[in-house]
Amino acid sequence: KKEEEEEEEEEEEEEEEEGEKEKEKEKEKEKKKKKKKKKKKKKKKKKKVTPEHLELRALLRLLEHSCLQEFLARDPCFQISDKYLLAMVLVYFRRANLKLSEYTCSNLFLALYLANDMEEDLEEAKCMIFPWALGEGWHSQVADFLRQRDKLWARMGFRALVSRRGCEKVMAMEPSQWAWTREQCPHH
């Protein structure tokens, strides 16, 4: 009898162990399912990169160019390159349907000059753009620069006015971007 009882106890223990193993397997399966669900949620949460974001990123990369950094540093009061004028550049690029490969320093200077034409009455300050856009001997190239500006304007359908709200929409896409800290000094 004792042997039978011991065998029964052993069988019960084995069954319990097997039951526990099954429970462990079930728990593992549940954990895996939860991980998969989390991964799916993360993928869904990731924002789709829109063409507008790609364009903004291209402009912001362009602003990191050493030539543009030097130019921006020479405008300490942000008279000709404040956050609104820089946002207008992107709006102009979009209106002109520029390809990302056309997001160049040259086109940025053309658009920035046009933005200054539309928004600022600072003829002398605006002329600071010429040496940066045209390099040495820039005086002889101004007429061609202005023709290129007019071509960009035509490509935009002569739609150069940009509302403050339009600029703020651009800035809201990447609100922590350093370019949007460029507030024009009130005394200018």
Mean pLDDT calculated for residue range 54-60: 97
Is residue 144 very low, low, confident or very high in pLDDT (cuts 50, 70, 90)?
very high
- Is the whole model's pTM more than 0.85, yes or no? no
Is residue 32 very low, low, confident or very high in pLDDT (cuts 50, 70, 90)?
confident
Instruction: Work out the percent of the chain whose per-residue pLDDT is above 90.
Output: 68
Is residue 161 very low, low, confident or very high in pLDDT (cuts 50, 70, 90)?
very high
**14 compared with 168, residue with greater pLDDT:** 168
Residue 36 in tokens? 């998969």
**9 compared with 70, residue with greater pLDDT:** 70
Most confident of 2-6, 8-12, 67-71: 67-71
CA angle 167, 129, 183 (to 5 degrees): 40
Burial 18-30 (b: 16+ CB within 10 A, else e): eeeeeeeeeeeee
Q: Is the predicted pLDDT of residue 177 greater than 90, yes or no?
A: yes
Q: Which of 11-25, 49-63, 167-181 has the lowest mean pLDDT?
A: 11-25
pLDDT digits (tens, 9 = 90+) for 75-132: 989 999 999 999 999 999 999 999 999 999 999 999 999 999 999 988 899 999 999 9
pLDDT of residue 188: 56
| Amino acid at residue number 25 | K
Domain regions of the chain by residue span: 51-180
DSSP code at position 141: G
CA angle 90, 96, 100 (to 5 degrees): 60
**30 compared with 12, residue with greater pLDDT:** 30
pLDDT of residue 41: 64
